Amino acid sequence: MSLTASPFGFGCRYHPTGQTRANRYVIDTAYATAIGYGDAVILNTNGTITVGAAAQDLLGTFAGCEYIDPTGKPTTSKNWPGTTGCTNIFCYVYDDALNVFEAQFAATASGDVQAAIGDQVDLVAGTPNASTGQSTQALNATLKGAGVQGQFRIIGFGPDGVYDATLNPFPTALLQIARHQYIAVKTAI
Protein backbone atom coordinates (compact mmCIF):
# COMPACT_ATOMS: atom_id res chain seq x y z
CA MET A 1 0.00 0.00 0.00
CA SER A 2 1.20 3.47 -0.76
CA LEU A 3 0.18 6.83 0.61
CA THR A 4 2.40 8.64 -1.91
CA ALA A 5 3.07 8.41 -5.62
CA SER A 6 6.37 6.64 -6.21
CA PRO A 7 6.04 5.13 -9.70
CA PHE A 8 8.42 2.34 -10.68
CA GLY A 9 7.41 1.63 -14.26
CA PHE A 10 5.90 -1.62 -15.42
CA GLY A 11 7.39 -4.55 -13.58
CA CYS A 12 6.90 -7.93 -15.22
CA ARG A 13 5.33 -10.05 -12.46
CA TYR A 14 4.39 -13.31 -14.15
CA HIS A 15 3.17 -15.12 -17.23
CA PRO A 16 0.16 -17.45 -17.08
CA THR A 17 2.42 -20.37 -18.01
CA GLY A 18 4.89 -19.52 -15.23
CA GLN A 19 7.62 -18.67 -17.75
CA THR A 20 8.63 -15.02 -18.33
CA ARG A 21 11.26 -14.40 -20.95
CA ALA A 22 12.76 -11.21 -22.26
CA ASN A 23 13.61 -11.27 -25.96
CA ARG A 24 16.56 -9.51 -27.55
CA TYR A 25 16.21 -6.39 -29.71
CA VAL A 26 18.46 -3.56 -30.94
CA ILE A 27 18.71 0.11 -29.94
CA ASP A 28 19.87 2.48 -32.67
CA THR A 29 23.38 3.85 -32.06
CA ALA A 30 22.06 7.41 -32.49
CA TYR A 31 19.18 6.99 -30.00
CA ALA A 32 19.99 9.51 -27.24
CA THR A 33 16.90 9.12 -25.02
CA ALA A 34 17.31 7.23 -21.75
CA ILE A 35 15.17 4.10 -21.23
CA GLY A 36 14.63 2.98 -17.64
CA TYR A 37 14.22 -0.55 -16.34
CA GLY A 38 10.47 -1.17 -16.54
CA ASP A 39 9.73 1.53 -19.15
CA ALA A 40 7.10 0.61 -21.73
CA VAL A 41 8.79 0.47 -25.13
CA ILE A 42 7.83 0.30 -28.80
CA LEU A 43 9.35 -1.24 -31.88
CA ASN A 44 10.22 1.76 -34.05
CA THR A 45 9.60 1.75 -37.81
CA ASN A 46 13.33 1.10 -38.38
CA GLY A 47 13.18 -2.09 -36.27
CA THR A 48 14.85 -0.64 -33.18
CA ILE A 49 13.55 -0.09 -29.65
CA THR A 50 12.49 3.34 -28.38
CA VAL A 51 10.67 4.45 -25.24
CA GLY A 52 6.86 4.30 -25.44
CA ALA A 53 4.43 7.16 -24.95
CA ALA A 54 0.72 7.46 -24.13
CA ALA A 55 -1.74 6.27 -26.80
CA GLN A 56 0.84 4.19 -28.73
CA ASP A 57 0.63 0.47 -29.39
CA LEU A 58 3.30 -1.09 -27.15
CA LEU A 59 5.79 -3.92 -27.61
CA GLY A 60 6.52 -4.63 -23.95
CA THR A 61 8.70 -3.42 -21.09
CA PHE A 62 12.43 -2.79 -20.96
CA ALA A 63 14.49 -5.40 -19.07
CA GLY A 64 18.08 -4.20 -19.54
CA CYS A 65 20.77 -3.90 -22.20
CA GLU A 66 24.35 -4.58 -23.18
CA TYR A 67 26.58 -2.48 -25.39
CA ILE A 68 30.12 -1.30 -26.14
CA ASP A 69 30.56 2.19 -24.71
CA PRO A 70 32.42 4.98 -26.60
CA THR A 71 35.72 3.99 -24.93
CA GLY A 72 35.39 0.39 -26.14
CA LYS A 73 34.34 -1.06 -22.78
CA PRO A 74 31.68 -3.82 -22.85
CA THR A 75 28.83 -2.73 -20.55
CA THR A 76 25.78 -4.49 -19.13
CA SER A 77 23.10 -2.30 -17.58
CA LYS A 78 19.50 -2.52 -16.41
CA ASN A 79 18.80 0.80 -18.18
CA TRP A 80 19.84 2.49 -21.43
CA PRO A 81 21.56 5.78 -20.47
CA GLY A 82 20.97 7.40 -23.87
CA THR A 83 24.68 7.71 -24.60
CA THR A 84 25.53 8.27 -28.25
CA GLY A 85 28.67 6.75 -29.73
CA CYS A 86 27.97 3.27 -28.33
CA THR A 87 28.02 0.23 -30.60
CA ASN A 88 26.55 -3.29 -30.55
CA ILE A 89 23.57 -2.13 -28.49
CA PHE A 90 21.29 -5.03 -27.62
CA CYS A 91 18.39 -4.75 -25.23
CA TYR A 92 15.91 -7.14 -23.67
CA VAL A 93 12.15 -6.66 -23.66
CA TYR A 94 9.35 -8.58 -21.96
CA ASP A 95 7.30 -8.66 -25.16
CA ASP A 96 4.80 -11.49 -24.66
CA ALA A 97 1.23 -10.14 -24.81
CA LEU A 98 0.20 -12.52 -22.00
CA ASN A 99 2.74 -11.18 -19.49
CA VAL A 100 1.22 -9.62 -16.40
CA PHE A 101 2.78 -6.34 -15.27
CA GLU A 102 2.39 -4.28 -12.11
CA ALA A 103 2.41 -0.46 -12.10
CA GLN A 104 1.37 2.35 -9.79
CA PHE A 105 -1.23 4.99 -10.62
CA ALA A 106 0.35 8.45 -11.11
CA ALA A 107 -2.34 10.33 -9.21
CA THR A 108 -4.85 9.55 -6.51
CA ALA A 109 -6.98 6.90 -8.08
CA SER A 110 -10.18 7.56 -6.15
CA GLY A 111 -12.33 6.29 -9.01
CA ASP A 112 -10.36 3.10 -9.44
CA VAL A 113 -12.47 0.80 -7.31
CA GLN A 114 -12.73 -2.95 -7.68
CA ALA A 115 -15.09 -2.40 -10.62
CA ALA A 116 -12.09 -1.04 -12.58
CA ILE A 117 -10.99 -4.60 -13.29
CA GLY A 118 -11.48 -5.14 -17.01
CA ASP A 119 -11.25 -1.42 -17.81
CA GLN A 120 -8.29 0.06 -19.67
CA VAL A 121 -5.77 2.85 -19.05
CA ASP A 122 -2.82 4.56 -20.74
CA LEU A 123 0.65 5.18 -19.36
CA VAL A 124 2.00 8.45 -18.01
CA ALA A 125 5.51 9.22 -19.27
CA GLY A 126 8.42 9.75 -16.91
CA THR A 127 12.19 10.18 -17.00
CA PRO A 128 14.18 7.26 -15.57
CA ASN A 129 15.68 7.80 -12.11
CA ALA A 130 19.19 9.13 -12.79
CA SER A 131 20.87 7.21 -9.97
CA THR A 132 19.06 3.86 -10.14
CA GLY A 133 18.02 3.62 -13.79
CA GLN A 134 14.52 2.59 -12.68
CA SER A 135 11.54 3.72 -14.75
CA THR A 136 9.23 6.40 -13.36
CA GLN A 137 6.42 5.70 -15.82
CA ALA A 138 3.01 5.18 -14.20
CA LEU A 139 -0.64 4.62 -15.01
CA ASN A 140 -3.05 7.42 -15.81
CA ALA A 141 -5.61 7.53 -12.98
CA THR A 142 -8.40 8.24 -15.45
CA LEU A 143 -9.94 5.02 -16.72
CA LYS A 144 -10.88 4.80 -20.41
CA GLY A 145 -14.44 3.58 -19.80
CA ALA A 146 -16.64 1.14 -21.65
CA GLY A 147 -15.78 0.57 -25.28
CA VAL A 148 -12.63 2.74 -25.31
CA GLN A 149 -9.29 1.04 -25.84
CA GLY A 150 -6.30 1.96 -23.67
CA GLN A 151 -2.74 0.67 -23.68
CA PHE A 152 -3.21 -1.59 -20.66
CA ARG A 153 -6.09 -3.74 -19.42
CA ILE A 154 -6.53 -3.88 -15.62
CA ILE A 155 -6.82 -7.49 -14.45
CA GLY A 156 -6.45 -6.91 -10.71
CA PHE A 157 -4.91 -4.75 -8.02
CA GLY A 158 -1.46 -5.03 -6.43
CA PRO A 159 -0.29 -7.36 -3.68
CA ASP A 160 -3.38 -6.92 -1.50
CA GLY A 161 -5.70 -7.64 -4.41
CA VAL A 162 -8.18 -4.91 -3.45
CA TYR A 163 -8.30 -1.15 -3.59
CA ASP A 164 -8.96 1.05 -0.56
CA ALA A 165 -9.00 4.84 -1.19
CA THR A 166 -8.24 5.68 2.46
CA LEU A 167 -5.35 3.31 3.14
CA ASN A 168 -4.01 3.08 -0.38
CA PRO A 169 -4.68 6.25 -2.46
CA PHE A 170 -1.92 5.34 -4.96
CA PRO A 171 -2.64 1.67 -5.65
CA THR A 172 -0.77 -0.60 -7.99
CA ALA A 173 -2.65 -2.53 -10.64
CA LEU A 174 -1.95 -5.83 -12.36
CA LEU A 175 -2.13 -5.32 -16.13
CA GLN A 176 -1.71 -6.84 -19.52
CA ILE A 177 -0.89 -4.90 -22.68
CA ALA A 178 -4.18 -4.27 -24.49
CA ARG A 179 -2.64 -2.48 -27.50
CA HIS A 180 0.24 -4.75 -28.46
CA GLN A 181 2.30 -4.12 -31.60
CA TYR A 182 2.35 -7.83 -32.49
CA ILE A 183 -1.41 -8.31 -32.24
CA ALA A 184 -3.79 -6.82 -34.78
CA VAL A 185 -6.58 -4.77 -33.28
CA LYS A 186 -9.95 -6.39 -33.95
CA THR A 187 -12.72 -4.07 -35.00
CA ALA A 188 -16.39 -4.63 -34.35
CA ILE A 189 -18.36 -6.14 -37.22
Angstrom distance (rounded) from CA 189 to CA 176: 24
Task: Tell me the per-residue pLDDT of 114-145, one tens digit each, with 9 for 90 and over.
Answer: 778 889 999 999 999 999 999 999 999 888 88
State pLDDT tens for residues 61-87: 999 999 999 999 999 999 999 999 999
Q: Are 67 and 86 in contact (CB under 8 A)?
A: yes
Q: Do residues 143 and 115 lie in contact, with contact meaning Cβ atoms separated by under 8 Å?
A: no
Whether 189 shows a pLDDT value over 80: the answer reads no
For residue 50, the cross-strand partners are 42
pLDDT of residue 131: 94
Distance separating alpha carbons of residues 77 and 133, to the nearest angstrom: 9
Integer Cα distance of 22 and 2 in angstroms: 28
Q: How confident is the model at residue 188 (pLDDT cuts 50, 70, 90)?
A: very low
- For residue range 19-75, what is the model confidence (pLDDT) as tens digits? 889 999 999 999 999 999 999 999 999 999 999 999 999 999 999 999 999 999 999
Closest CA to 152 of 61, 47, 45, 17: 61
Nearest by Cα to 79 from 95, 96, 61 = 61
pTM: 0.89
- Where residue 161 falls among pLDDT bands split at 50, 70, 90? low
> CA 137 to CA 54: how far, in whole Å?
10
